[in-house]
Amino acid sequence: MDARYFCVQPAPWGIVGLTPSCNRDILQLNIEIYKVEVKYQKVSAMYSAPRSCPICGDEMIITALYCPACDTRLEGHFSFGGLGGLSPAQLAFVETFVACEGKITRVQKALGISYPTVRSRLEEVITAMGYEVGEEEDEDTGDEALRRQVLDDLAAGRITPQEAVRLLGG
């Protein structure tokens, strides 16, 4: 049994708390702990880990991971992964891009920005992740040009729907 000296002192929020021994109203408490139950709640929103040091600006690394369900702790040097180098704005863009299934026209509508702006932001993300941006291909080459021609002919009534299906390989 460990006896420590505490004094009763009001806490800033108005609840009386116990603090280590002070010069007034010393009260001796004998504290015995038999069993402690700790219940964890899942946290719905956590803070994002800072990616750069607030002091020197150098890149931060993760050195510990923790599982609140089973109290497991891992220590080491962990990276943020491929998306770790992205700014919060770039991460938000990637989330929108994935939610829109990579369809640029849907990203345009979701963010209210133009096609060139979507392409530009996508290229920024690709570069930030350490990849090279590929050369833009002409969309009117090969199969795309044939598809457009077949659809134009179908719309003009020059071919039947059955011929259009056959020409498009369906």
Q: Which residue has the higher pLDDT, 32 or 121?
A: 121
pTM of the predicted model as reported, rounded to 2 decimal places: 0.46
Q: Which residue has the higher pLDDT, 131 or 30?
A: 131
Q: Tell me the pLDDT band of 3, cut-offs 50, 70 and 90.
A: very low
- 115 pLDDT more than 80: yes
Average pLDDT over residues 115-141: 81
Give the least confident one: 12-16, 44-48, 101-105.
12-16
Give the pLDDT of residue 7.
47
- 5 pLDDT more than 90: no
Q: If DSSP codes are grouped into helix, strand and coil, which group holds residue 82?
A: helix
10-29: b or e for each residue (b if 16 or more CB lie within 10 Å)?
eeeeeeeeeeeeeeeeeeee
